[in-house]
Structure 1
Amino acid sequence: MGEKSSSKLVWLGFFGMLLVLALLASFALLKGGRQLARVEAEQQSGAVQKLFYIILDGEQRVIPESKRLRLSLDMQSAVDEEQQLLRQRLQQRLESAVDMAFAPVHAHVSDFADWYYSLTGEYMRYAHALGGDMSEYLQQRLRETVFLPAALESNIDNLLLESNAALIQELQQSGARLAAQLQLVVAAASWPVGSGQPLIGESLDLDRLFAAGLQLNASDINRQVLATLTATGTGVAVAKGLGAAVVKKTVAKVAGTKSFHLASALLAKLAAKSAIKGGGVLAGAGAGAAICSPSGPGALVCGAVGGLIAWIAVDKAVIELDEALNRETFEDDIHAAIAEQQEQLKSSLLQAHEHILSAGLAPIKQGAQALAVPAGEFTPADSALNPAARSDYEK
């Protein structure tokens, strides 16, 4: 009896062990299947996530992972080439416009020299030297004889308006050229998304970046140009108009020349004339008195007239000598000072317009650079449109 009980227990233990093993095997099979399914799903998901989508001109195209780096470099190159082309056009246009605005100024420099080397100018300077600042007076005459007739202030203000309007047009044309170029580059490295195909993965909306960067209005352009000019010291008085600021700085530049400093100093010239006049005026007065009558009231009048004529004759002779010796240098110094300010304005305007151009193309270039980032680490295109990135032209 005891042997039968022991046998049953053995068999029960054996079958129980088989059952446990079967359960464990089933559990392991089930768990392994789930793990395999999850791995396969992750692998498939990873393949989908590596797909990259570009939206350009309203069309969605798929960029394979293997072509992202090459496409990124090609797109950046296209943006750089367009930026360089536009910079050259901006430089040519601005240089031509500034030269045209300053041309009348150079043409009127001779008018100031005519006044300076004249008896009228000489005596007006003497009269003003008695109770005023000679340098300030000469600067005022420079404005009246050169800058006002040349209308430089209004010419510069008009130049700014016209250049800003031209920049808006240039940006629009540049955007169209760049979009067409990028369409060719993108098409060579992608395929269009099929109708109804779900977009699973990362995407770059170039249409939004073009709109954000290159579609600026006149107010945007003007604000940024003036801000840059103020920062460079060219537009320190932009509240009164850029033209007024340029005239003020140009007059100050001329006043700082050596010739202008010499023109403001009358003591040396007076001393030189006095030595000549000392004998010439007395001789003229004596000759006048002798011609009129040897004595009497008429002699005094004739003597005074003769002395005055001699005085004026000496002044005129000295002025003519001064003009013959120094006028060319005098005018050259004025032209050089004006030209220096002219070149500075060109540089400042170009810098201001380049600043706007760079800010406009920056979102597109940032988007192109993002293409080179491995899948899963891509930063959405919206990051190129955040306040920090747009601060260059939204201040």
Structure 2
Amino acid sequence: MFSLPKNFSFARSLGFLVFAASWLAFAFFLGRLIPDRQLWFALLITLLFGMPMYGAAMYAVTIQRIHRASQFMKLGILHWLFTRRILAYAGWLLWSVVFSFLLLFYLGSADKQEWIVCFAAIPAFGIVYAILFPIAAREYKPYIAVHKSLVWTRWVTALAMAVFFVFFADHTDTNRQYASLTEAVAAESQKLEGVTNSILILETNRLLGFIEGMKRYALGGLHSFDDLLYVAVIFLGSVLFFYNVALGISSFMVPLAEYRRVFAPVQDSDEPPAVSPWAWAITSAFATFFVFFIYVPSTVYVDTWLRSNPETVAEIRAARQSAVQTVEMIGDEYYKPGTAAQIEQAYLDSLSKMEASLGKLRETTGTGFQQMADNVDAYLDWYYSLPGEYERIVALATGALETWMAEKLQNYLMQGNVFGPVQKSIEDVLQNNQQLRTEHMQKVERILAENRVEPAGDSQLEIVRHASLNSLKEPPAHSVIVNLENRVLISGGIGTAGAITGAIAGKITAKVAGKGIIKLGAQALIKVTAGKAVSALGGAAAGAASGAALGSFIPGIGTAIGAAIGGIIGGITIGLTVEKLLLMLEEAFSREEFKLQILNAIEEERIEFEKFLNTPALSDKTSGSTDAAAAP
């Protein structure tokens, strides 16, 4: 590894490639697991992943201190000050841990193209080192030549890979092209979400989401030369990223024996000095103390502190988006986030109040149908009475028996305006509905006015939701109330006495007529009427004989008059008696069945009407779709 290209060692080169690739593969396979694991897992793999970076950094610090020490003629304060390694070791230790932690997150979420570029840094580093080492070896001591070559190679590799990644890699993925920085940050952050319980890991994910979003936004507009400041930041960040990757890679280029200089006193010698047992003991003690008393406790403390101080987390997030203004776009105007949700909640509240107003209507409905059922007996009492019988005969004579019987049933069901309370409840519901709609419209206007946003000229807008203004302003509508006035039940118009009663009674009568009960009754009446006529004739004959016998006391005309009067009286008496007996017989055989048919019709209408009153409210209100679109 220290020889010129003519003494090129294939085994060492292969070892370098294998170890360097394994180091990156370690990050690839384990880094992607961190967002879904607990903090101990992240601490363990960070420590393991950061060791090559820290080893390379300690070796570089040691060689620098040896080079400085060789410049002094004698020992003194300046020699002590400039050749101490403890502060540099501590600084690089902190840097290695922090950057390894971030690097694992980043590499674990990197896409295929980024991984190709990262792995390409390994052969690129080897080629650059093979070119620069012979140049350094001509004038420097062997171990100084290694150090100088590694330093130069890190920077050349970092710059070359950063230029290639930013300016020559393909960044035209249409799925990752964003119109604004905020949109890019929001989209990329979603890809880094995890299910861990560690606040530190979650916040690191969000930080990397912000960095990744800025990178994607800047690289997406690279060819238009827009937002060059972002491009410059991404380029510098890429240099830093690839420098640390090269730092870790370079640790595998240093021969293992050279690392003995890290643990030995500072001295200028071509061969690394042996490490004393005392040095190993001190190193082990410091490593143990650092891992168990500094590294793990401090990280756990930071995670706990973040968990117990949510306001600090909020400030961190706000600082990342200091130039971003989050808004909702309703119609053509901008509003504070949550405005649409407030309006939707107001809509649901109004709808809930409408639903509550229907409770009284549902209560009175049951009572109304029960009273209507109670009126059935009064109708049947009339139906099986002599007046009812002769009223039907008159209707039969006019040819409107079925219509007249249906109207009579409806009139009896309407007795007492049984649905008067229902009528009043409906009027109250409709009046309350109109009042709620008016109040809702006023509340919507107030919410919009209080939450309207005038964007600053230099701010960038993150539109977290688009919504239709007309849809949000639409007043609440309950399906029962919307259809109530259009139902047959209120065709008579609100305010007309008995309108609902008549409508429902009419529908019940129609159900009874539909079952053929009224029609069959009319046909039976026609048949029975003939029998009644025969009975009436017999009664008239008997009455005439009786009247003639009584009139015989008056000679001549008395017999004739008596017969006539007796016939009339006898016909009426016998006819009424026969009529009553026939009605009683008909009632005994058919009343309960007729009543059951009417009650069934009332029950069917009650079920239908209550089902209508229990129709779900029209609450599927679509006001807009949530997205992460952003406007400049």
Aligned mates of 1:306, 1:348 — CA distance in 2: 58
Show the counterpart of 1:341.
Answer: 605
Letter of the 1:161 partner, please give it: E
Letter of the 2:491 partner, please give it: V
CA shift digits 1:234-264 (9 cap, x unpaired): 46x7374572544433332233333212222
Aligned mates of 2:350, 2:482 — CA distance in 1: 21
Change in 2 beyond 3 A, CA 1:339/1:30: closer
Letter of the 1:248 partner, please give it: G
Show the counterpart of 2:520.
Answer: 262
Greater RCO (Cα-Cα under 8 Å, separation 6 or more): 1
Does residue 311 (structure 1) correspond to residue 575 (structure 2)? The answer is yes
- Displacement after TM superposition at 1:144 (Å): 3.0
Q: TM-score, normalised by structure 1?
A: 0.55
Letter of the 1:323 partner, please give it: E
Letter of the 2:462 partner, please give it: G
- Report if the CA contact (8 A) 2:539-2:572 is conserved: no
Show the counterpart of 2:510.
Answer: 252
User: Which residue of 122, 126, 136 maps to 2:403?
Assistant: 136
- Report if the CA contact (8 A) 1:164-1:221 is conserved: no
Question: Which runs of no fewer than 5 residues in structure 2 stay unpaired?
Answer: 1-159, 172-176, 190-325, 330-334, 439-455
User: Which residue of 401, 413, 416 maps to 1:146?
Assistant: 413
Does residue 320 (structure 1) correspond to residue 584 (structure 2)? The answer is yes
Does residue 201 (structure 1) correspond to residue 454 (structure 2)? The answer is no
Aligned mates of 2:367, 2:607 — CA distance in 1: 12
- Report if the CA contact (8 A) 1:104-1:150 is conserved: no
Aligned mates of 2:357, 2:611 — CA distance in 1: 11
Aligned mates of 1:88, 1:97 — CA distance in 2: 15
- Displacement after TM superposition at 1:129 (Å): 1.6
- Displacement after TM superposition at 1:310 (Å): 0.8
- Report if the CA contact (8 A) 1:288-1:307 is conserved: no
Question: Which has the larger helix fraction?
Answer: 1
User: Which residue of 229, 238, 255 maps to 2:491?
Assistant: 238
User: Which residue of 539, 545, 548 maps to 1:286?
Assistant: 545
CA shift digits 1:188-235 (9 cap, x unpaired): xxxxxxxx996732334899799635x5489x98555435x4xxxx46
Does residue 47 (structure 1) correspond to residue 185 (structure 2)? The answer is yes
Change in 2 beyond 3 A, CA 1:204/1:145: same
Aligned mates of 1:161, 1:109 — CA distance in 2: 27
Does residue 101 (structure 1) correspond to residue 368 (structure 2)? The answer is yes
- Displacement after TM superposition at 1:323 (Å): 1.4
- Report if the CA contact (8 A) 1:250-1:337 is conserved: yes
CA shift digits 1:270-314 (9 cap, x unpaired): 133345445444334434544665762334323421222111111
User: Which residue of 608, 621, 624 maps to 1:362?
Assistant: 621
- Report if the CA contact (8 A) 1:284-1:303 is conserved: yes
- Displacement after TM superposition at 1:342 (Å): 2.8
Change in 2 beyond 3 A, CA 1:339/1:169: farther
Question: Which runs of no fewer than 5 residues in structure 1 stay unpaired?
Answer: 1-27, 62-71, 173-195, 381-395
Aligned mates of 1:156, 1:263 — CA distance in 2: 32
User: Which residue of 161, 171, 196 maps to 2:427?
Assistant: 161
- Report if the CA contact (8 A) 1:168-1:216 is conserved: no
SS in 2 for 1:115: helix
SS in 2 for 1:250: helix
Letter of the 2:374 partner, please give it: A
Change in 2 beyond 3 A, CA 1:253/1:33: closer
- Report if the CA contact (8 A) 1:290-1:299 is conserved: yes
Letter of the 1:104 partner, please give it: Q
Change in 2 beyond 3 A, CA 1:263/1:210: same
SS in 1 for 2:581: helix
Change in 2 beyond 3 A, CA 1:170/1:250: farther
Change in 2 beyond 3 A, CA 1:156/1:289: farther
Change in 2 beyond 3 A, CA 1:293/1:117: farther
- Displacement after TM superposition at 1:97 (Å): 3.3
Identity across aligned pairs (percent)? 20
Aligned mates of 1:163, 1:122 — CA distance in 2: 43
Show the counterpart of 2:386.
Answer: 119
Aligned length: 297
- Displacement after TM superposition at 1:141 (Å): 2.0
Aligned mates of 2:548, 2:535 — CA distance in 1: 20
Aligned mates of 1:252, 1:205 — CA distance in 2: 52
- Displacement after TM superposition at 1:317 (Å): 1.1
Q: TM-score, normalised by structure 2?
A: 0.37
RMSD across aligned positions (CA): 5.3
Change in 2 beyond 3 A, CA 1:289/1:84: farther
- Report if the CA contact (8 A) 2:337-2:464 is conserved: no
Aligned mates of 1:281, 1:117 — CA distance in 2: 24
- Displacement after TM superposition at 1:88 (Å): 9.1
Show the counterpart of 1:183.
Answer: none
- Report if the CA contact (8 A) 1:277-1:311 is conserved: yes
- Displacement after TM superposition at 1:47 (Å): 0.4
SS in 1 for 2:399: coil
- Displacement after TM superposition at 1:337 (Å): 1.8
Change in 2 beyond 3 A, CA 1:94/1:203: farther
Aligned mates of 2:612, 2:566 — CA distance in 1: 63
Change in 2 beyond 3 A, CA 1:335/1:349: same
Show the counterpart of 1:19.
Answer: none
SS in 1 for 2:414: helix
- Displacement after TM superposition at 1:332 (Å): 1.8
- Choose 1 or 2 for highest CA Rg: 2
Aligned mates of 1:29, 1:145 — CA distance in 2: 97
SS in 1 for 2:398: coil
Letter of the 1:238 partner, please give it: S
Change in 2 beyond 3 A, CA 1:106/1:292: farther
Aligned mates of 1:259, 1:138 — CA distance in 2: 11
SS in 2 for 1:362: coil
- Displacement after TM superposition at 1:108 (Å): 1.8
SS in 1 for 2:461: coil
Change in 2 beyond 3 A, CA 1:170/1:345: farther
- Displacement after TM superposition at 1:165 (Å): 5.0
- Report if the CA contact (8 A) 2:351-2:476 is conserved: no
Show the counterpart of 1:383.
Answer: none
